[in-house]
Amino acid sequence: MEKISNAEAFCRWIWYTYLNKKNYRALKEIVDDSISVIGTGEHEISRTLEEFAAQMEKEELNRRESFFVEDDWYQTRDLGNHLFLVIGQGKCREDAEDRIIYEFAFRFTMLVIQDPDGYRLLHVHQSVADSAQDSDEFFPRRLVEQSNQILQERIEEKTKELEAAHKQALFYARFDPLTKLMNRQFLEEKISSRMLEQPYGTMLIMDTDVSKEINGVYGHAVGDRILQAFSKSLKNVFCNDLIGRLGGDEFIVYASFGIEHQELLEQRWRQLKEEWEENQKDIKMDVPVNLSAGAAFYPKYGDDFSSVLDHAHKAHYYLKKCEKEGICYYGQDGFVKIL
């Protein structure tokens, strides 16, 4: 290496040799035995000569890039006893034409010592300026942005929790928690809207005869399972219709067919009985649970929810006076029972 006149020129030569020439052999000749290096990467730290040599060897094998130093500045302070502190900055551009050109700027602090043979490198601390930090900021804007991002994420998380709680509250305001069917209030709203939209319909009110005797013998847990199983049967048979639980073991179905389609009512009732008999097998009771229902047609027997429901109730009461199961509706010749 040619004789260098001062510490600043020595440091300038180091960066040129490292960035542009990639001459690692020349760099190894000018480091002091007590060398230490702190780079910009989390892994780029060498506390001893051995660590520095290993780091340089690994980098030499893998590095492909070469850089021009397009702009730089240096400032030297004589610390005495032939020891010099050099600080500075460099702006570099990749020496390449056939791909994306990489540009970067870095700052450095270098400690060098002069002996009769020239200068030797004792320490390097390299850093990269934060472009997000304005000239009048003590902390970079990025820290504030990160803090705001964390705050925004927490707000979004809390908003999602509130939305979920609102949805849950809205669900329980509209649906029965046991069967997940519509409750009376919400069902009445939906049926009233359906009556305005469609010219006819059929309302059924029914129960599963889950009496005090069943709850007393098998327990209320079994009674709840019966109600849940029956709800499943209703959903399977009346999948496109409105279904709700009035309370206890009473249920309402509002179907989209009218008095002109009584054969559909009979067909659906048979399907419901078959479905219910199948679902009861999972309950494992000694006796079957009977079904009974009363039906009324809209608008033949009422022009609103309450009046149609009243006629369905009357048909149901008439049936239960003399029968334990089946379905009954009021027809031209009085009450008609479907087995």
**Tokens of residue 239, six digits:** 């999948």
pTM of the model: 0.54
Residue 217: count other Cβ atoms within 10 Å of its Cβ.
13
pLDDT beyond 80 at 80: yes
pLDDT at position 120 is 95
Burial track 169-185 (b if 16+ CB lie within 10 A, e otherwise): eeeeeebbeebebbbee
CA 185 and chain centroid, separation: 33
At the topology level of CATH, where does 184-338 sit?
A: Alpha-Beta Plaits (3.30.70)
Residue 316 near residue 328, CB atoms below 8 Å: yes
Name beta bridge partners: 266. Answer: none
Separation CA 65–CA 116 (nearest Å): 35
Q: What angle do CA 271, 277, 282 make, to 5 degrees?
A: 130
Cα torsion at 157, 158, 160, 166 (round to 10°)?
170
Residue 158: count other Cβ atoms within 10 Å of its Cβ.
10
Confidence tier at 112 by pLDDT (50, 70, 90): very high
Domain ranges of the chain: 7-127, 141-174, 184-338
Tokens 């209030």 map to which residue? 185
Average pLDDT over residues 290-295: 88
pLDDT in tens, 144-193: 677 788 888 899 999 898 898 888 888 888 999 999 999 999 999 999 99
At the topology level of CATH, where does 7-127 sit?
A: Nuclear Transport Factor 2; Chain: A, (3.10.450)
Name beta bridge partners: 243. Answer: 253
**Tokens of residue 241, six digits:** 């219709």
